[in-house]
Amino acid sequence: MKKLFPILVLFVFLLSACGQAQPTAIVLPTAVPTQEAQVNDPGKPEGGKAGDERTSSADGMLQVYVPGGKFQMGGLDGDAQDDEKPAHPVTVGPFWMDKVEVTNAMYQLCVSAGVCNPPSEFKSESREMYFGSPDFADYPVVYVDWNDAKTYCEWAGRRLPTEAEWEFAARGNADYRRYPWGDQSPTNNLANYDYTVRDTTRVGSYPTGASPFGALDMAGNVWEWVADYYDPGYYAQAGADNPTGPNKAGVNGPRVVLRGGSWADGFKDLRVSNRGFGVAPDLTADSKSEAYAGESNPRVGFRCAETGK
């Protein structure tokens, strides 16, 4: 996709929500920051109990605590694809996971700081003005590539989650659930999917679709970049303790894992074990080439994680 590098424009974001009809969203009083970011004084110990929350002073993001543990990773149902197999036991350490996807307003803080590139497009699927519009300040940022997401998380004092962390935060280890909320098939009260809304919704709009640790929007709304490179056969050789994915050299091109499905995807893509991928920027390529730009589109965003104790 064509990558844009425009001159930075400073936007003023207001605390307002879109009047579009949608499920009742949770209250996120600090999800749209109103002050300059100060990285990173969460105000709580690094450890905690499952589902504990804290707020990052870098960007106002609510984070939920995931204590880590052992779980069964991979496809465990009849819709499992080849790249989800074999299912295998994995242990992950404790970490904090962003409760919702990074919003336009949060991402603008990093752009205004001169650290992040603006999204490659300021529109969304159906809205001509999206990034920079006060009506969509607390909607997930889109048209960001993998390097953009990685840069933002590092600026905020966090990092992209590994694929194993993402799946554990979505699935937990109490059962072998298919979706973040359990085994019930998706409905319009649980997730934004299958072109029902035909675009993104405000983060946190589906509280009944929460994961076991309280993370929201882990199914639908936007696909989410994670840290791992993508290899369809990786699970056959993956390590059992805190796996971080294959080396880039072992991948057919700079492909990176995407998780969670989007507003445009059907129920099979919303399963916690489903794996997608996108093309990461290749900064060694010609700066005017598509390979250098990588992939970004109106169906992909991200959330961050932070190692805990």
Q: Each residue of 205-216: pLDDT tens digit?
A: 999 999 999 999
Q: Each residue of 142-175: pLDDT tens digit?
A: 999 999 999 999 999 999 999 999 999 999 999 9
Predicted local distance difference test score (pLDDT) of residue 50 = 93
Domains of the chain: 53-307 (3.90.1580.10)
CA dihedral 76, 264, 227, 237 (to 10 degrees): 30
The pTM of the whole model exceeds 0.75: yes
Residue 284 or residue 261, greater confidence? 261
Is pLDDT of 39 > 70?
A: no
Predicted local distance difference test score (pLDDT) of residue 253 = 57
Is pLDDT of 36 > 50?
A: no
Is pLDDT of 258 > 50?
A: yes
For all residues of the chain together, what is the average pLDDT?
87
Measured between its terminal Cα atoms, the distance across the chain in Å is 39
Residue 309 or residue 199, greater confidence? 199
- Per DSSP, the residues of the chain read -----PPP------S----S--PPPPP-TTSS--S---TT--SS-S---TT-EEE-TTT--EEEEE--EEEEES--STT--GGG-S-EEEEE--EEEESSPPBHHHHHHHHHTTSSPPPS-S--SS-SS-TT-GGGTTSB--S--HHHHHHHHHHTT-BPPPHHHHHHHHH-SSS--SBTTBSSPP-TTT---TTSSSS---TT--GGG--TT-----SSSSEEEEEEEP-TTGGGT--SBS-----GGGSSSSEEEEES--TT--GGGGSTT--EEEEPP-TTS-TTSHHHH----TTEEE--EEE--
